[in-house]
Structure 1
Amino acid sequence: MNDFEIIFFILRSVIYEDAKSADMINAYAKKASNLPLVTKTVYGGLENKIYIDYMIRKLSAIRLKKIHNHVLLILEIGIYNIHFLETKDYATVDKLVDLTKAKNKKSTGFVNAILRAFIKDEKELAKIYETDDIKSLSIRYSFPEEITRYIYDFYGMDYTKAYLRDADRIKDISIRVNELKTNREEIKNLLVNEGFEIEDGKISPNGLIVKNPAGLVATKFFKDGLFTIQQEASMKAVEVLDPRENSKILDLCAAPGTKTTYIGEYTKNTSQIIANDISKAKNKLILENIDRLGLKNICLTNYDASTFIRDFENKFDFCLVDAPCSGLGVVGRKPEIRYNRNKETIVRLAELQREILAKAVKYVKKGGYLVYSTCTLGPLENRNNFKYLMENKDLELVQIDGQDFIEYKSFEANTDGFFISKFRKIND
């Protein structure tokens, strides 16, 4: 299996079978002869798919919807390599024509003609001719027009452009120091001695930014549980919850357990923590991290968070609802998100979040605290649900750093886009 075949299989799985790009790259990593090229082409192809399809549409007499998925995928790989990686030699075309023979033999001439025509007239074909600003932005930054318009309608043009420009930028990896086993200065020095370039976090006192993260999880320090990988905005959600030692805590939508484990570290292994998530398949990963980090008193449950769980009623001093969301704040790390989200999806998710929040309020004791967070942006999932909580007579707002809520912008904070709000329960 050559690298183009690997790229083809990964992209097919991600685009047409809802696989995750990072998982697929990891699965094929040992088979690739040039893993950096495979990784760059997979992510680049996903990040530029709409723009690439726009250029293919100019060349093809066949409508894109009529082109076989396998053939379109090969064309997308080719255009990405030619235009973005500047591999304009015809050897690349020949390799992709050979791949077409294996996947859809009757289309070899079509693929050959399209890619060679693109090389000859690339400069003109790359130009975007659209009078509608939103449509033009959608093509240029390969973001679905419906989602682009959703962001624009609420935030305006300056925000939309900044967000789209930033969406594909590789964000710095941040790690969370496990203070049960070490401290920030100690792990910083250990990693620097191993050749890692480290900076102090800008948001979390337990955060460190790693500028060259390759090989990070292979270190002894990771395996021994001295740190875990977590973006700083995600850490902030737990710090806003500010759970106390010797308390009862519920992480209602816990997978993959990153915040759950931070709660355990934050409360120094003294609290009773329930980590609940509907997906039993993710229990193994959560348990592995609990063990690696040296955590105790964490119990896993697998209830549907949108249904009432009687055993949880009025039981918890602290409840974190990091709800299932559209993930528009993390597209830089998960580029495939943009292709399986639309306005209808966002509406459904906002309704699901509200159902979960209605139940979560019932699980918090009088005097207890509820934090609602998402890794997305837009009014439906964030501010509208914040207003829903504000209107609940059993809750009172707890300000965060002098604000009613925090809404991190990825293009300003160099972290995931994130929304965080906090409430105190005042009635049973």
Structure 2
Amino acid sequence: MSKTSREIVLDILLDIDRNDRFAGDALGGALRANQFMNKKERAYISRLTEGVTEQKIRLDYILNQFSKTKIKKCKPVIRCILRMAAYEIFYMDAVPDEAACNEYVNLTGKRGFRTLKGYVNGVLRSVCRNKAAITYPSMEDGVESYLSVKYSVPEELVGFLLKEYSTDQLEQILQAGEQERGTTIRVNTMQTTTEKFRNILIEKGIKVEKGYYNQTSLIISGYDYIRTVPGFHEGLFTVQDESSSLQVLAAGIRSGDVILDVCAAPGGKTMYAAEQTGEQGHVYARDISEEKVDKIDENLERLELHNVSTKVWDAAVPDPDMIEKADVVLADLPCSGLGVMARKNDIKYHVTEDMVRELAAIQKTILDVCAAYVKPGGTLIYSTCTIDRIENEENVTTFLKAHEEYELESLSDYMPECLKKRAEKGYITLLQGVDHCDGFFISRLRRRK
């Protein structure tokens, strides 16, 4: 017997809980395994999985007001069922509250917990009866507590970010996770034009908006599955946020340049750099595992780009063969990912200040290695998809002290008009919810001749 949509979501959430998986990976695997379900069911599975993951702290706060057992101490199946039910009750209107309660009580029994059906029923009925009267922390109860529950972010992370941003700024950043947003793609201009491809999508009923910062970027929505979007298999586009594409633009790549992308998977920057340098140039794309490099190769094949060599290589290990070989080194390094919390809604549960400092140390090591790869007069682009100073500005400062042959160079000539002023000092931090893209840090370091 095939599983219902709720059973599939429960399995996904248990997979995340038990195996410490990221929601996007678990959900993606489940959707691929159920790719023949109709669009409505797939959308329901995605929304419920992502919603429960994103609102976990807020949902637990609500449920704890009506449960004698703290939700974190419940059995994993019961914990997930209660969170799913609470999310449907508060955030989804397709099913009446009473019907939703019945569905989840029945699911409890179906999963072998008949003795707990009464408990689940009691908690959910109490939630429904008192839905309008539930109170939440106010600013007077403490900024950390207020922001933590309102935006379902751990208090420790709120406190860490408040060291760098005002309450108003941080709330604006966290609000980005609550907003609907489409998928940003970049058109492969070696195969088509942005306008021509935009018209193809519109003709197929896909909603399309122009990008804010990159003329080759489009924001799409109203499709079922990215691989079913017209032009995917023909390599007419790749999924890439505008913040990531700005990193490549910041490099000022010229036709014929030699590019080294040291942490390249899944290949968005590599592909854009390959288009920029053309057949006269070459891109060396690397990452730490066969799996990651396979993803790069898959995308290169799809976009029919032939001026790229891929290789499994640990970016922290020096490669004597690359010394002073690159006109441009792209170092978009592993980071805490605080700039993509709006898209990857469970990153926030994994980040601590200790983790940030450990990552910053790894980034420093890789930057020191990369310094030797750049030709005199060449460019090192250091970027991250995070928004804290420890991994960003502080790393740049440390690098410049250790490498006197480098200097910061203004990014203004490579940025769109609306960002030029902010980019004059040689680096820029883009903020989700403030700018029209993911949070991202980009710096341009020029090696003196």
TM-score by length of 1: 0.94
Does 2:115 match 1:93? no
> 2:123 aligns to what?
114
Partners of 2:241 and 2:72 lie apart in 1 by: 38
Which of 7, 23, 46 is the matching residue for 2:53?
46
Does 2:287 match 1:277? yes
Stretches of structure 1 lacking an aligned partner (at least 5 in a row): none
Shift in Å at residue 103 of structure 1? 4.8
- Closer, same or farther in 2 for the Cα pair 1:45/1:353, shift >3 Å? same
Contact 1:325 1:374 in 2 (8 A): yes
Contact 1:150 1:378 in 2 (8 A): no
Q: Which amino acid aligns with 1:132?
A: G
1:253-287 alpha-carbon deviations (Å, 9 max, x no partner): 11111111111111123222111110211222211
Shift in Å at residue 371 of structure 1? 0.1
> 1:9 aligns to what?
11
Partners of 2:409 and 2:136 lie apart in 1 by: 50
Contact 2:10 2:80 in 1 (8 A): yes
Which of 314, 328, 333 is the matching residue for 1:323?
333
Q: Matched residue of 1:320: which SS?
A: strand
Number of equivalent positions: 427
Partners of 2:343 and 2:99 lie apart in 1 by: 31
Which of 222, 226, 239 is the matching residue for 1:229?
239
Partners of 2:323 and 2:329 lie apart in 1 by: 12
Shift in Å at residue 319 of structure 1? 0.3
Does 2:409 match 1:398? yes
Shift in Å at residue 216 of structure 1? 5.2
Q: How does 1:244-323 map to 2 (within 5 A)?
A: 244-323=254-333
Partners of 1:79 and 1:185 lie apart in 2 by: 44
Stretches of structure 2 lacking an aligned partner (at least 5 in a row): 413-423
Partners of 1:262 and 1:288 lie apart in 2 by: 15
Partners of 1:298 and 1:103 lie apart in 2 by: 54
Q: Which amino acid aligns with 1:90?
A: E
Contact 1:171 1:414 in 2 (8 A): no
- Closer, same or farther in 2 for the Cα pair 1:332/1:180, shift >3 Å? same
Contact 1:15 1:336 in 2 (8 A): no
TM-score by length of 2: 0.90
Partners of 2:230 and 2:198 lie apart in 1 by: 14
Partners of 1:192 and 1:55 lie apart in 2 by: 42
Q: Matched residue of 1:410: which SS?
A: coil
Partners of 1:356 and 1:329 lie apart in 2 by: 20
C-alpha RMSD over aligned residues = 2.0
Contact 1:6 1:32 in 2 (8 A): no
Q: How does 1:25-36 map to 2 (within 5 A)?
A: 25-29=27-31, 30=34, 34-36=41-43
Paired-residue identity, %: 32
Shift in Å at residue 327 of structure 1? 1.1
Q: Which amino acid aligns with 1:44?
A: G
> 2:443 aligns to what?
421
Q: Which amino acid aligns with 2:49?
A: V
Q: How does 1:19-418 map to 2 (within 5 A)?
A: 19-29=21-31, 30=34, 34-86=41-93, 87-101=95-109, 102-128=111-137, 131-214=141-224, 217-391=227-401, 392-401=403-412, 402-418=424-440
Q: Which amino acid aligns with 1:240?
A: A
Partners of 2:164 and 2:256 lie apart in 1 by: 42
Shift in Å at residue 322 of structure 1? 0.4
Q: Which amino acid aligns with 1:247?
A: D
